[in-house]
Structure formats: structure tokens, C-alpha cells
């Protein structure tokens, strides 16, 4: 969400909206309190659906939960980049994201 004072965009804290539980959807990341996989929301967005269209389809979700799916995907991509050989030489995995690797290990 964009801060009107300085124009800086701050991502939603996906940890408040995404959970991984081996008993729910075979351990796929889902929106907390639902059986809706993060990947499903991302596929809707990639297919051209708007956030408002997804909310109309799933009225019990919040705009923040949908944005959290995007923030989660961002952190997964950042973690993957950090784990690539070229990035590991810099030892910057922990400082580049919000600690996805540590979070995933604790779930």
C-alpha cells in the first residue's frame, strides 16, 4: 500500500494471512482459516482477474489477504534467487527478504 506522504509502497505482511499446515491442502500455502491455496489466487490474478473480481467470487476474503498472496510469491522468488549459486557467494539471503526460510522451517 502506498504511503501518501512519501510515495513509498509497503507490502502487506503475508505472515498474517498465509499458513502452511500439512493437514490442509497437503501442506500447500493457503490463506489462513480457509482451504484456498495461495497458488489459486495467483493463478486468478495471472489469468487477468482483478482483486475486486476475486473478492466477488470469495466475499469472505479481504483485499489484504489477496495482496498477501502476491507478497508471499515475491518472498518465495527472492528466496529462490538467494539460493542460486551466484547469490550465495554474497551471503545475503537473510537480509534480502523477511526471513521466509526461517518462517518456513518453523511451520
Q: Give the domains, in start order, of the chain with CATH numbers.
A: 14-75 (1.10.10.10)
Of residues 7 and 49, the one with the higher pLDDT is 49
Strand, helix or coil for residue 18: strand
**Distance, CA of 7 to CA of 2 (rounded, Å):** 6
Residue 66 burial (CB count, 10 A): 25
* pLDDT digits 0-9 by tens, 30-76: 999 999 999 999 999 999 999 999 999 999 999 999 999 999 999 88
Strands in the chain per DSSP E: 18-19, 30-31
* Stated length of the chain: 107
pTM, two decimal places:
0.73
Amino acid at each position: 500500500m502506498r504511503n501518501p506522504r512519501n510515495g513509498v509502497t509497503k507490502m502487506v505482511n503475508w505472515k498474517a494471512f498465509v499458513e502452511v499446515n500439512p493437514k490442509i491442502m497437503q501442506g500447500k500455502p493457503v490463506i489462513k482459516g480457509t482451504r484456498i491455496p495461495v497458488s489459486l489466487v495467483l493463478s486468478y490474478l495471472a489469468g487477468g482477474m482483478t482483486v475486486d473480481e476475486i473478492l466477488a467470487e470469495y466475499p469472505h476474503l479481504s483485499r489484504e489477504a489477496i495482496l498477501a498472496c502476491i507478497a508471499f510469491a515475491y518472498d518465495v522468488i527472492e528466496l529462490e534467487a538467494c539460493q542460486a549459486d551466484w547469490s550465495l557467494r554474497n551471503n545475503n539471503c537473510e537480509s534480502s527478504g523477511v526471513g521466509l526460510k526461517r518462517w518456513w522451517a518453523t511451520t
